[in-house]
Structure 1
Amino acid sequence: MAVEIRFTAASVARVRFALSLLGETVLALRILLGTGGHAVHEPWVRGARPLLADERELPLLRALIAGPLPSFLFPVPQERLPSMAAELEVLRATEEVFFRREYAAVLGIPQEEAPEPEAVLPRLAAALHRCHELVVAPRWGRMRAVLEADIGRRALTLVDGGVQALFAELHRDIAWDGGQLVVHGRRTPHSVWTVDTGGHGLVLLPSVFNWPHVGVDKSPLTAASIRYPAVGVGLLWEPPPPALAGLVPVLGRTRTALLTALAEPLTTATLADRLGITPSAVSQHLGALRGAGLVTTQRRGRTALHLRTERATQLLEPQV
């Protein structure tokens, strides 16, 4: 089915980018539970799938993501990168009529037979949090680097060529046509589903786990949204270069990841966010790396910026 997203002049000016931990977790689970995915994710699947064996809410998760995905699982981020906790709070607060309509449509039951949201959403949010911690959070640092790099690339295109140039390169299934955005479906190309932005704008979300497809929220409550495949996903699950693989047993996975990230100056908070660990843990690891002469820290007012040293860079680069 083709989806046509209608714009007003105001909504064109409100095209923005965001990342969604909740959305990526839902899409990751769809792959792990065997209802989607691409062979490019197979190295990750082999390690992640066994981690879900003890999840008690797998029947609920399977029921909701086996077919068309309900829109309430993908609340549109109000900021560029909301926390998982903030997104789950929005999920738990899903409006009853919207929840029952989407739930009934996904399960193929009459809307009056759908349960009350209070009976489902707290269980669902708790399960998604547990699954996120198991299968997404450990790899989020590397995933985020890919997603952020994609946004940076698209932002430059938007600045240089405007929305027409942006949409022209976003995906082969996306076309800007006379002030309307058309996402072409594969199954029934002659039918069209219309989405009106209503002045709320459009949020573009690069995705790892929706790769290589495009996803459109057909029932937006506010801004319209499109999930598109991020550039670089094909390299995401490749094993680290020999130099990095050799450092992990010596320094540990976290300290090796810190050195890899510190090719540019970063704050403690940014490092914690990228690696999915606490700021205090980052500070502890940085202290050890500074003591070994692998990290240097400079203060600018109240902000501390960390950067790896030349010695660390030599350790990370393969020897020839």
Structure 2
Amino acid sequence: MAVEIRLSAAEVARVRFAVSPLAETVLGLRLALGVGGHDAHRAWVREARPVLAGEPELPLLRALLVGCLPSFFFPVPGVRLPSFEAELAGLRATDPEYAAAECAAALGGARACELPDTTELLTRVADALQRFHDALVAPHWGRMLALLEVDLGRRAVTLVDRGVEGLFAALHEDVVWREGELLVHGRRRAGAVWTVEAGGHGLALLPSVFGWPDVMVDYSPRAAASIRYPAAGVGLLWEQPRPSSAGLAAVLGRTRAELLAVLGEPLSTPQLADRLGVTPSAVSQHLGALRGAGLVVTRRTGRSALHLRTAVGAVLVGEAGAVPDRP
């Protein structure tokens, strides 16, 4: 079903960006349950499934997350980057009547009646999300957040260069801007159109790792309308190319070792040049050698490029220890 989000001129002025650790945890859990996703997430899903198999609340999580998703899992953050703990506390404090209505809408009345009391449900689900986040999201969150922050920076530049219309056009091929209305999924899904009113609260745009490559819209927002769109460069997080013996011989020297040390998070060539105090052209030359050795991967999106060390590169950094100080 296509979704039409109606925005007044005042609400267009309230378009903002945010990141939601809670939503990423919920969407990651859904991937681990076998719903949606993409081959780009395969390595992480392989890691997650054995852990999830031992989760005591697995039947409850399946009931809530395998089909339509209740909106209370996806509150729009009030700040650009809330902590997972703050968002989880908000989930625990969700109005039970609202949560019950969302479960009924998402699951159907009969299935919702099979769930535990709503207050108990919120407690049990929040506890399960805490365990899942600690085991499978938190260890990767630094890298995930770095990628999400880079995406936000790119979108901010697009907004400055091309305005709101250009920003929406660049979000995703399924997002179309039409004179004060946003149409999501309209290009691929014919038939009825669901209308969402922003209600004077504006629109929040949230990049997502585990939602990639899809676009998600809250059909019944309580405050600001929201679109969760796929962040650029997600494939960088899990890629593990094999090194070649010829390339490994080139991975010698201080600058290349320092590059490997800082590339625990996705960074651009200018960012690397600034951190290491060398020229961008020198960074590009060293990155070429590291890529040849299978120690670094690069993903290009338009005119931007992000670099990240591979799992093999991470092992090499760990085995080699700290990079010696410059004389």
Unaligned 5+ segments in structure 2 are 252-259, 266-270, 276-320
How do residues 49-128 of structure 1 correspond to structure 2 at under 5 angstroms?
49-110=49-110, 113=113, 115-128=116-129
Partners of 1:112 and 1:135 lie apart in 2 by 28
CA contact (8 A) 1:4 1:195 kept: yes
The question of whether the paired residues in 1 share the 8 Å contact of 2:103 and 2:112 is answered with no
- CA deviation digits over 1:154-193, x for unaligned, max 9? 1101111111000011100000001111102588522111
Q: Distance in 2 between matches of 1:6 and 1:194?
A: 7
Alignment check: 8 A CA contact 1:195 1:218 kept: yes
* 1:20 counterpart residue number: 20
**Contact conserved, 1:207 with 1:230, CA < 8 A, in 2?**
yes
Alpha carbons 1:147, 1:206 under 8 Å: kept: yes
Question: Are 1:146 and 2:130 an aligned pair?
Answer: no
Instruction: Quote the Cα distance in structure 2 between the aligned partners of 1:211 and 1:198.
Output: 27
RMSD: 2.9
Q: 1:200 corresponds to which residue?
A: 201
CA gap of 1:112–1:260, structure 2 versus 1, over 3 A, is: closer
Percent identity at matched positions?
Answer: 60
CA distance, structure 2, for counterparts of residue 240 and residue 161 of structure 1: 36
Structure 2 counterpart SS, 1:3: strand
Correspondence for 1:38 = 38
CA, structure 1 residues 41+176, in 2 after alignment: closer, same or farther (shift >3 Å)?
same
Contact 2:201 2:225 (C-alpha < 8 Å) held by counterparts: yes
Change over 3 Å in CA distance of 1:49–1:193 after alignment to 2? same
**Which residue of structure 1 aligns with residue 221 of structure 2?**
220
Relative distance call for 1:127 and 1:257 in structure 2 (3 A) is farther
Separation in 2, partners of 1:30, 1:185:
25
Q: Residue 147 of structure 2 aligns to a residue in which SS?
A: helix
One-letter code aligned to 2:83:
S
Q: By how many angstroms is 1:72 displaced?
A: 0.4
1:153 and 1:187 mapped to 2: Cα distance?
A: 26
- Which sections of structure 1, spanning at least 5 residues, go unmatched? 248-255, 266-287, 295-309, 312-320
**Length-normalised TM-score, structure 2:** 0.74
2:310 is aligned to none
Question: Is this contact kept in 2: 1:100–1:111, CA < 8 A?
Answer: no
Hey, what's the Cα distance between the residues in 1 that align with 2:60 and 2:111? 18
